[in-house]
Structure 1
Amino acid sequence: MKWEFINHMEKIYNLLQELEQEKSDRDYPFAWERVHATSCAQVGRLLARKRGADLELAALVCSLHDIGRWYTGRQKDHAIHGEEPVRRFLESYSIAETSKEEVIRAVIHHSEKDKVGSALEEIVKDADILDCYFHGDEVSKPHHVARLKKVMEELGL
């Protein structure tokens, strides 16, 4: 399993390096995208372990959740813009079609932090908010604060 995760992250780093060559104006630098994809995947694995979910699927979706921003360079509507890129990225993965669709749905809905979704969607939403918080982002929207407090309490932080 360890090597599966490393191979997955290598594919992500290669994709990000490819996209970085385009030298576009961006809301977030590629250095952030690499760090956030990696640490979010690890937080997702932790949450999946705690919640009894599939660790590798959680790591996969958590690492890919911002793929729409990787391509557009913009934060606005990045979750919905992630659908086609994540579909293309998952073409090379030999996982069940239902799992692929679950990952795609979680990418599309990860920004809807005020709504409750599937177990995988909740993992990526919580991993995203927790990872951003630990990297120093200000969490100020009421539903973001509520989600952050809930996941920190769950983890005893």
Structure 2
Amino acid sequence: MDRLEEIREIVDNVLMEQANLELRRIGFLHIYGVASFSNLLAIKRGLNAELCAIAGMLHDIVTYKTGSSVDHAKLGSIEARKILNETNSFNEKEIDIICNAILNHSNKYNVDQVYDEILKDADVLEHNLYNTSFPVEEKEKKRLADLFQELNLKI
């Protein structure tokens, strides 16, 4: 099985087990949106699109598994490492890239490694393109403006 499809199957199962139907709905929208934007940005920036899409699929896995977003980046990184190791489809370097991106994705003010930045940017795009009438969070304003400039979009 294709590695991305293997991760999608795992994530879909986690989401389907979420009893809160609204959280499940949001989970499907958000995770697939972030994965797609991660893919797009990876292609644009010349990075591994598969690893970026997988990071996008797993970045909030613990939130949708537990129903809580407390410390979700750290806990999500741990859960993602467990999932990736269990598949036996990824080498240690790939696992580190994905899990570090997940670990760092919530800190939108910091600039980290290139894969971390793709996940942060994809997360910001999904938050703000889901409904453009919603206000932009302060921590996402500069990053969103920079992304719109990079993608040649008007705010």
Match of 1:145 among 137, 141, 155: 141
Q: Is the 8 A contact 2:59 2:73 kept in 1?
A: yes
Count residues with an aligned counterpart: 150
Preserved CA contact (<8 Å) 1:40 1:62: yes
Alignment-mate amino acid for residue 15 of structure 1:
V
Moved more, 50-59 or 31-40: 31-40
**Residue pair 1:45, 1:55 contacting (<8 A) in 2 also:** yes
Which residue number corresponds to residue 78 of structure 2?
Answer: 84
1:110 to 105, 108, 116: 105
Q: Equivalent residue for 2:130?
A: 135
Residue ranges of structure 2 left out of the alignment (5+ in a row): none
Q: Letter of the aligned partner of 2:77 in structure 1?
A: E
> One-letter code of the match for 2:111?
V
TM-score by length of 1: 0.86
Q: Give the whole-Å Cα distance in 1 for the aligned partners of 2:144 and 2:118.
A: 12
Q: Which runs of 4+ in 1 moved over 4 A?
A: none
TM-score (norm 2): 0.87
Cα RMSD after superposing both structures: 2.0
Q: Map 1:1-157 to 2 at 5 A.
A: 4-18=3-17, 20=18, 23=19, 29-91=23-85, 92-136=87-131, 137-141=134-138, 143-157=139-153
- The one-letter code matched in structure 1 to 2:127 is C
Which letter does structure 1 place at the counterpart of 2:43?
A: R
